[in-house]
Structure 1
Amino acid sequence: MDPAIVFGRVLRQLRKEAGLTQEQLGFDAQVERKYVSLIELGQNQPTVRVIFKLAAALDTTPSRMMKLVEDALE
């Protein structure tokens, strides 16, 4: 399984758990909604800076996000 696709699934799961739309997450993380969509689809890979912004907007940590990706890949 491609880690980019898994990261996108994790991001979507965390976003939905937080009750946010892609637009709301993009606004809170200061990234475009379309970029959030492309990450969730596994078509774009976020930079470390963007991962930190997304994590903060989702009230979680980048390490927790990566752990969820690791767990899904195992």
Structure 2
Amino acid sequence: MDIRVVFARNLKHYRQLRGLTQAALAAAMDVDRAHVSAMERGQQNVTLQTLQRVAAHLDVTPANLIEEHSEIE
């Protein structure tokens, strides 16, 4: 599976698990909500720095965001 799709699914899953909206996550990361939306649709090639920032704001490891999890749809 495309790593962007895996990241997108995991990002959305962990964001919702934390009870955050796209806007809230975007504000915490100091980016536009559209950027978070594009990441969640797999339309962004995120940098390693962005991966690390997202993970920190969601309180997960970067590996959690790029590993395929069969229970996450």
TM-score, with normalisation over the residues of structure 1? Answer: 0.82
Alignment identity in percent?
A: 37
Taking the aligned partners of 2:6 and 2:55, their CA distance within structure 1 comes to 16
Q: How many residues align?
A: 70
Residue 44 (structure 1) aligns with? 44
Gaps of 5+ in 1: none
Which structure features the higher share of helix residues? 1
Equivalent AA in structure 1 for residue 30 of structure 2: Q
For residues 27-66 of structure 1, what are the alpha-carbon distances to aligned partners after superposition, in whole Å with 9 as ceiling and x for unaligned?
1122221111001001112111111111111011112222
TM-score between both structures, scaled by the size of structure 2? 0.83
**RMSD, aligned CA:** 1.4
Confirm or deny: 8 A CA contact 2:4 2:43 kept in the other structure: yes
Ranges of 4+ aligned residues in structure 1 off by more than 4 Å: none
Structure 1 stretch 46-55 or stretch 26-35: which is displaced more? 26-35
* Unpaired stretches in structure 2, ≥5 consecutive residues: none
